[in-house]
Amino acid sequence: MVPSADARRWASALAPEMHAWVLQGFAPRFGKLADSFETNPRWRALAAAGTELWLDTGDRAGAESLWTREFRALTTNNTLLNKEVQRGQYDDLVRRTAVRLRQLAPDISNDMLVLEIAFVLNAYHGLRLVERFDAFVSVEEHTDLAHDAELAVLYGKRLHAVCPERFIVKLPLTPAGLVGMRRLRQAGVPINFTLGFSARHNYVAARFGNPDFVNVFLGRLSAFVADEKLGSGAGIGEKATAASQEAMTALRKAGTSRTRQIAASMRNGAQVWSLAGVDVMTMPLTVAQEYHDAARAGVSGRGPAAADFAIEMDAAARQALHFDVLWDISPELCTGMDALMARDVDRTTAGDLAGFLRQHGAADLFPEWTATDLEVLTTEGKIPRLARWRPQLESGAIGFDALINAAGLCSFATDQKALDDRVRGLLG
């Protein structure tokens, strides 16, 4: 990883030239493509229930097979972009960008070169999606920036400037991500605050920084329960999403934030019916296709309230592992956020924020992960294994939402490394 001060210096110096570089050949047709796409009654019904429709893919050909004028946006991330890069479609762009960067900065380090090329790949791929669909596109920063608020703000501004008409910048839910997100929102940059897993995750984010969107990665919650044979896991992700939606709705009604809820990491078409009415669904292609092709009649109204979702999980395990943190927002946390927002919050650092929350109703939300912890999470993948983490979960030292958030970031970092390694290989 490039030292932060060096990365900020290089990123600022290279910004004008890389901005022009990535925009070469960009030919958008803002507001002129809607009539070229068909309309679909099943998608119209879902939109009528109050849900904005996004596709969770960076695959242009796959998106074309489902896109109708009811869809509004696409989401990409490190994993999805890596899939496109590994196919080799951007090999020539990588090589040409490296040549240009070395012309501009002959003494640029290899690590900085890779970081800038990752920026170009994210922006360039997003622009191709904008060209094809005139869609809003969520573009994600390099995972090395997840714990560096200053650098996250710099690159966030750069990404947005590439296509301010359509780009939404994705930042991950970390203490530094919260600080960077707040600063970017104050600068007018639209933010999709990602890697949220609970109502309290998103309550903190909405109160602190007012992002445009927050997420619940609902499929991973249910998958953990099923994988560990604690029940089928049905209803868990849906209940967390619905509870977070209700919290965001309440904050909007109170005038506290304008943040909207995304149902993310959807796993099957049935979840479209159960979560109808959530602010936004970002659907993988398989989920959208399953809903589209189902014999069952399309959505006819909003899904159930959070309190009405049945949870298929062993009751003793649910209590022992404190799974209710996924949908409960404690009075202590609300009071803590009131106290935090009464301070000079714009001077708050990532460390200050995490420490304050640990002392005010959320000691388990931002635990201090050790290097060994992160190595284990990286090895386990995006859904952690219970055997290693059961004592900390049962004691309340860490919350399940915190655990799976950290695992998700480690998983994204693994895919980012695979992308970076391909870039390094192309550079020799």
| Domain count within the chain | 1
Measured distance CA(348)–CA(357) in Å, rounded:
12
Instruction: Please indicate, yes or no, if residue 29 is contained in any of the structural domains.
Output: no
d(CA 192, CA 212): 6
188 domain-assigned: yes
pLDDT tens, position by position, 296-339? 999 999 999 999 999 999 999 999 999 999 999 999 999 999 99
The residues, ordered by sequence, that sit 6+ positions from 375 with a Cβ below 8 Å of its Cβ are none
Tens of pLDDT along 31-55? 999 999 999 999 999 999 999 999 9
> Is residue 10 pLDDT above 80, yes or no?
yes
Q: Decide if 255 is inside a domain.
A: yes
Domain membership flag for residue 120: yes
pLDDT score at 401 = 98
Average of per-residue pLDDT across 169-195: 98
Which pLDDT does position 80 carry in this prediction?
A: 86
Q: In terms of C-beta density within 10 A (0-12 exposed, 13-18 middle, 19 or more buried), how is residue 252 classed?
A: middle
pLDDT above 80 for 2: no
Q: What percent of the chain has pLDDT over 90?
A: 94
pTM for this one?
A: 0.97
**The pLDDT value given to residue 78:** 84
94, 102, 116, 198 from 97: Cα distances, Å: 5, 9, 9, 40
C-alpha separations of 116 from 8, 187, 191, 350, 417 in Å: 11, 22, 21, 25, 14
- Mean pLDDT computed over every residue of the chain: 96
CA distance 164 to 49: 29
Task: Give pLDDT, residue 71.
Answer: 98
401-428 pLDDT, tens per residue?
999 999 999 999 999 999 999 999 999 8
Residue 21 lies in a domain: no
**Roughly what angle, to the nearest 10 degrees, separates helices 78-86 and 110-133?**
90
pLDDT digits (tens, 9 = 90+) for 59-88: 999 999 999 999 999 998 888 888 888 999
Mean pLDDT of 204-214: 98
- At 190 the pLDDT is 98
Is the pLDDT at 3 greater than 80? The verdict is no
The 10 Å Cβ neighbour count of residue 89 is 12
Any domain includes 44 = no
Residue range(s) defining the domain that contains residue 199: 49-427
* Model confidence at 276: pLDDT above 90: yes
Determine whether 343 is exposed, middle or buried from the number of CB atoms within 10 Å of its CB (0-12, 13-18, 19+). exposed
Asked whether 399 and 361 are in contact (CB, 8 A), the reply is: no
The pLDDT tens digits of the residues spanning 123-167 come to: 999 999 999 999 999 999 999 999 999 999 999 999 999 999 999
**Residue 350, in any domain of the structure:** yes
> What CATH number does residue 414 fall under?
3.20.20.70
161 touches 174 (CB < 8 A)? no
Stretch 352-357: mean pLDDT: 93
- Domain-located, residue 26: no
| CA pseudo-torsion sign 98, 99, 101, 102 | positive
DSSP H helices, 187-296, are: 199-209, 218-227, 236-253, 270-274, 285-293
Position 152 scores a pLDDT of: 97
Neighbours of 277 (CB within 10 A): 19
Average pLDDT value for residue range 96-122: 96
Per-residue pLDDT for 364 more than 90?
yes
The confidence score (pLDDT) of residue 110 equals: 94
pLDDT at 381 over 80: yes
